[in-house]
Structure 1
């Protein structure tokens, strides 16, 4: 492909990548769970344009470089799909898993196709910063009341559903911005490689963008109050700083100074540093103590599930399907403390992506991901072109070349944040991860290269595969998003108490969403409200294959009670109570059940237990429960 044509293709690729990143701002398309679903929908549309471009350009590619990182990505993808086939009880549709895997693989190939060129690399970095800057600006507008938040309890959310994901998203740009600021030679060399005629203007643009992003994110992160984002951003920025020659010189001098101290003085210095770290850690812990305790409980319960299948994992969707049942087992076995009983909730994710990967895909997936990250961050061979390398100080290793330091720092920030949150449940974060990995994979150690006409043996089948997969999945995805719109309508009808109309809408979209546990839970609840208790139980029993929750157990209990099966109702309410011990509702429902089934002694004992229970959240509902329990105790035998 000629140089002029290659530049045009690169610009088109950057335009498509810009559209992909911009889906972070999509908030409303009329779907259920619109803030997340709209972003996924927009990304899939953009990926379709990427697929078209790849199909048109791949056959003309005359050189394919395959690196160690590429090989590990392929192995990870293959195991991701194979592990689903090995799963005894699939908790997610295999078609859904296959589609998502192919979607992210397509985006990876899309980025790798041009990731070796300076124009695409720096264009991608600029887009990464611009989107983060836009989110940070929106967060500041929300903070000062110029734009509405997307959560009633928090003033800052950006275009996300709470401050956590928002903070993690903008924090990931900090190391990249700092890398541009800290290495001016990199900026100038990049500008010369992209536009030899006006390098100064372009380098000024890069630096102004970096400074603006850094300042905006630094202003918005503190009021967002996400400890995970603070820690992640700090770690990523420290990585960038440790790669700077000035820091290396300072560290070398500091080590020499420490060696000159006596052993007692060295120990004293280490203790002082340790004390500072402990004080900071304790401060972050006490800032949101209940949240921290809750996450520790989630990690403990998740580890119990991991023990059951440590090597191969349970399969995609296992956390949603199994967690609440295991939390009930945890408390029933007496492992839970009083503090854990109060902080236990119904989490949608384990707040640790490494644990989730281990739970769902097993230790093999964790090892593959770890080795991949090792090669991305350490085993590193920058391109040889002098215009594409930053000026390095004598003795500076290639692995610490300024070329990719900012990108590495952003990847580290994203990974550290993922240890305390659930970013990869959101398409925007997965896009960040895939783009960063693809950019770094291009600089990993090369395994082999295919050149000339031989490249057609790989590029042509890949292009045909993209066409076939796109044609196959396009109607399925259209049907899926139409179903998500109907689900949204059904949900709105339910909250308007139009239960029969809601059931009709749920029934219409059931064929498309019959593997979605949350959908089945809501459908079953709507059926229960229309007094179709047997039908509701059938749907809820199916829902339990994909989701474990208090709502399912409470609704099953209500249905069994209406059908006269008091023993089954009591069992369902008890399981619900064990899932979240501090929740009063299942105990209240059990007490009413005992009263109506003439089990008055059980009712009184439970009423006393409820009245003596600490109230986690004071509300009109809890006050009503307490009044009803007092009535039970006041009733004469």
Structure 2
């Protein structure tokens, strides 16, 4: 491929990458759970253009180089798909898992295709910073009332559903910005390589962008109050600083000075450092103690599920399908403390992506992911010669190393944030992860090189496969998003208490969403509200295959009670109560059941239990429950 044509292709790739990153700002397309679904929808559209570009350009590649990182990515993808086939109780549609795997693999190849080129590398880094800067700016506007947030309880959310994901998203840009600021010489060298005519202007642009992003993110993170993002940004920035020559010199002199101290003085210094770390950690813990205790509970319960299938995992969607049932078992076995009873809730994720990966894909997936990260982070430079698909003209245009310290720092920040949150349930975060990994993958050791005709024999079938898969999945994804629009409409009918209209609308989306546990739960609830109790139970029993929740148990209890199956109703209410011990609703429903089934002793004991229970969140509903329980006890007396 000629030099001019290569530059045009790179610019087109950057435009598509810009569109991909910009999907983080999508908030409304008329879908259910629009803040997340709209972002995924936009990304898939952009990926389609990326697929077309790859189909047109891959056959013209003269050389293909696979690195160790590429090989581990392939192994991880293969195990990700194979583990689903080995799962004896699938909790998610295999077609959905296959599509998501192919989508992110396509984006990895799209970025990897030009990852070593200086124009694409620095263009991608600039886009990464610009999107974070845009989110930080929006967060500041929300803070000062110039723009509405997307959550009634929080003033800062960006285009996300709460401050947590927003903070993690912008914090991941801090190390990358700091890397540009801390290494101006390398930035100037890269600027000369990209544009020899105006290197100073280009260097100034990178540095101004980095400083602006750093300042904006630093201003917006404290009021967002996400401890996970603070820790992630700090760790990523510390990594960048430790790579700086000034720090290395300082560390070397510090070690020499420490060696000159006596052993008691060294112990005292170590104790002082540990004390500072403990004080900071305790401060972060007490800042949101209930949230921290809740996450510890989630990790403990998740570990119980991991013990059941530690090597191969339970399969995709296992957390949603199994967690609340296991939490009920945890409290039924008496393992839960009083504090845990109060902080227990109904989490959508384990707030730790490593635990989730281990739970769903097993220890093998964790080992593969760890090995991949090792090879991504251990490299010192990103030479063009290690490009996964390098043209000769591209290699000639870029002989020097691309500094990737900031890229590594951002990857570390993203990973640290994932230890305390659920970023990879959101497409914008997965895009960040894949982008950073693909940029770094070329620096690991080359294990296979394909040249000449052999390269064409590989790339041409690969390009055709991308085209065929894209054509195959396009109508399926179109039907999926049509169903998501119908779901959104059904939810609106339900919120207006037009339950019959909601049921009719839910039914239209059922063929496409019949493996979505949340959809089935909401459909079953709507059927119960229209007094179609038997039909509701059928839908809810199906829902339990993909989702365990208190709402499902409460609705099953209501249905069984209406059908006169009091024993089954009592069992469902009791399970609901064990899922979240501090919740008064299932106890209240059980008490009403005992009254209506002429079991006054059980009703009185449960009423006393409710009145003696601490109230987690006081509301009009809890006040009404307590008032009615007091009235029932007074009536009995």
What's the TM-score bracket when you normalise by the shorter of the two chains?
over 0.9
Residue of structure 2 in register with 1:142 after alignment: 142
Shift of 1:352: 0.0
Q: After superposition, where does 1:131-170 map in structure 2 within 5 Å?
A: 131-170=131-170
Residues 45-104 of structure 1: CA deviation (Å, up to 9, x unaligned)? 000000000000001011111000000000000000000000000000000000000000
Note if 1:374 corresponds to 2:382: no
Q: Distance in 1 between matches of 2:197 and 2:529?
A: 71
Cα distance per residue 1:432-462 (max 9 Å; x no partner):
0000000000111111211112101210111
- Indicate if the aligned counterparts of 2:381 and 2:402 stay in contact, CA closer than 8 A: no
Quick check: 1:352 aligned with 2:330?
Answer: no
For 1:394-409, list aligned pairs within 5 A.
403-409=403-409
CA distance, structure 2, for counterparts of residue 292 and residue 331 of structure 1: 19
Q: Is the 8 A contact 2:228 2:420 kept in 1?
A: yes
Corresponding residue for 2:47? 47
1:504-523 mapped onto 2 (5 Å cutoff): 504-523=504-523
**Structure-2 residue corresponding to 1:398:** none
Matches of 1:521 and 1:386, distance apart in 2: 59
What is the CA–CA distance in structure 1 between the aligned matches of 2:288 and 2:531, rounded to whole Å? 42
Corresponding residue number in structure 1 for 2:181 = 181
8 Å Cα contact 1:149/1:156 also seen in 2: yes
Query: Which residue pairs with 1:393 in the alignment?
Result: none
- Measured in 2, the distance between the counterparts of 1:446 and 1:120 equals 21
Is the Cα–Cα contact under 8 Å of residues 136 and 158 in structure 2 kept in the other structure?
Answer: yes
- Unaligned segments of structure 2, at least 5 residues: 386-394
**Structure 2 partner of 1:130:** 130
Residue 99 of structure 1 aligns to a residue whose secondary structure is: helix
Once the two structures are superposed, what CA deviation does each residue of 1:155-213 show, in whole Å capped at 9, x if it has no partner?
A: 00000000000000000000000000000011101101100111000000000000000
Distance (Å, rounded) in 2 between the aligned partners of 1:206 and 1:463: 34
In structure 2, the partner of 1:488 is: 488
Question: Per the alignment, in what secondary structure is the counterpart of residue 447 of structure 1?
Answer: strand
Residue 562 of structure 1, CA deviation: 0.1
Tell me if structure 2 keeps the 8 A contact 1:189–1:388.
Answer: no
- Cα distance in 2 for residues equivalent to 1:553 and 1:159: 33
SS at match of 1:64: strand
Superposed displacement of residue 636, structure 1? 2.9
- Whole-angstrom CA distance in 1 between matches of 2:302 and 2:382: 40
Query: Offset of 1:605 from its aligned partner?
Result: 0.2
Query: 1:450 aligns to what SS in structure 2?
Result: strand
Aligned twin of 2:324: 324
Displacement over 2 Å in runs of 4+: 379-382, 384-390
- Structure 1-normalised TM-score? 0.97
- Of 458-467 and 84-93, the range deviating more from structure 2: 458-467
Once the two structures are superposed, residues 323-356 of structure 1 have per-residue CA deviations (whole angstroms, 9 ceiling, x without a partner) of 0000000000000000000000000000000000
The answer to whether the 8 Å contact 2:240/2:405 transfers is yes
Q: Find the counterpart in structure 2 of residue 395 from structure 1.
A: none
In 1, Cα distance between equivalents of 2:279 and 2:198: 50
Residue equivalent to 1:60: 60
Counterparts of 2:129 and 2:479, CA distance in 1? 35
Q: Is the 8 A contact 1:190 1:388 kept in 2?
A: no
Query: Where does residue 192 of structure 1 map in the other structure?
Result: 192
The structural deviation recorded for 1:382 is 3.1
Deviations 1:394-433 (A, max 9, x none): xxxxxxx871100000000000000000000000000000
Residue 211 of structure 1 aligns with which residue? 211
Q: CA separation in 1, counterparts of 2:110 and 2:132?
A: 21
Displacement, 1:493?
A: 0.2
* Aligned twin of 2:391: none
The equivalent of 1:290 in structure 2 is: 290
Deviations 1:80-137 (A, max 9, x none): 0000000000000000000000000000000011111000000000000000000000
CA distance in 1, matches of 2:549, 2:290: 21
Query: 2:603 corresponds to which residue?
Result: 603
Cα distance in 2 for residues equivalent to 1:331 and 1:256: 54
Deviation at 1:243, TM superposition (A): 0.2
1:380, 1:444 within 8 Å by CA — same for their partners in 2? no
Residue 511 of structure 2 aligns to a residue whose secondary structure is helix
| 1:30-49, Cα deviation, whole Å (9 max, x unpaired) | 00000000000000000000
Residues 1:76 and 1:222: Cα distance change in structure 2 (over 3 Å): same
Matched, 1:275 2:275: yes
Query: Residue 428 of structure 1 aligns with which residue?
Result: 428
Match of 1:257 in 2: 257
Alignment check: 8 A CA contact 2:239 2:409 kept: yes
Q: Give 3-state SS (helix, strand or coil) of 2:151's partner.
A: coil
- Cα distance change of structure 1 residues 222 and 331 upon mapping to structure 2, 3 Å threshold: same
Q: Take 1:389 and 1:211, find their aligned partners in 2: how far apart are those partners?
A: 28
Give, in whole Å, the separation in 1 of the partners of 2:340 and 2:461. Answer: 54
Which SS does the other structure have where 1:547 is aligned?
A: coil
What is aligned with 1:103? Answer: 103
Q: How far apart, CA to CA, are the structure 2 residues paired with 1:464 and 1:348?
A: 38
> Is 1:314–1:362's contact at 8 Å kept on the other side of the alignment?
yes
Deviations 1:202-258 (A, max 9, x none): 000000000000000000000000000000000000000000000000000000000
CA distance in 2: counterparts of 1:461 and 1:352, whole angstroms: 38
SS of equivalent to 1:145:
coil
**Equivalent residue number for residue 389 of structure 2:** none
Q: The residue matched to 2:404 in structure 1 has which SS?
A: helix
Aligned to 1:564: 564
Alignment partner, residue 616 of structure 2: 616
Report the alpha carbon displacement of residue 381 of structure 1 after superposing the two structures with TM.
Answer: 5.5
